[in-house]
Amino acid sequence: MPIIFLLFIIVPIIEITLLINVGQWIGVWYTVGLVLLSAFIGVNMLRIQSLGTLMRARQRMEQGEIPGREMGEGIVLAVGGALLVTPGFVTDVIGFCCLIPYTRRALVSILSQRFTVIAMRQGGMPGGDPADGFQSHQDHVHRPSREGDVIDGEYTRKD
What local confidence, expressed as pLDDT, does residue 70 receive?
86
Residue 61 CB-half CA count within 13 A = 10
What local confidence, expressed as pLDDT, does residue 135 receive?
45
Instruction: Using alpha carbons, select from 99, 109, 116 the residue that is nearest to residue 49.
Output: 99
pLDDT tens by residue, 107-154: 988 888 777 655 556 555 454 444 444 444 444 445 555 566 777 777
102 Cβ contact partners less than 8 Å away, ≥ 6 residues apart? none
What span, in angstroms and rounded, lies between the C-alpha atoms of 132 and 53? 29
What local confidence, expressed as pLDDT, does residue 119 receive?
52
What span, in angstroms and rounded, lies between the C-alpha atoms of 55 and 27? 42
How large is the average pLDDT for residues 9-38? 92
What span, in angstroms and rounded, lies between the C-alpha atoms of 11 and 4? 10
What span, in angstroms and rounded, lies between the C-alpha atoms of 5 and 17? 19
pLDDT tens by residue, 71-108: 888 889 989 988 988 888 999 999 999 888 899 899 98
Residue ranges covered by each domain of the chain = 8-126
Query: What is the pLDDT confidence band of residue 1, given thresholds at 50, 70 and 90?
Result: low
The alpha carbon of 151 is separated from its chain's Cα centroid by a whole number of angstroms, namely 42
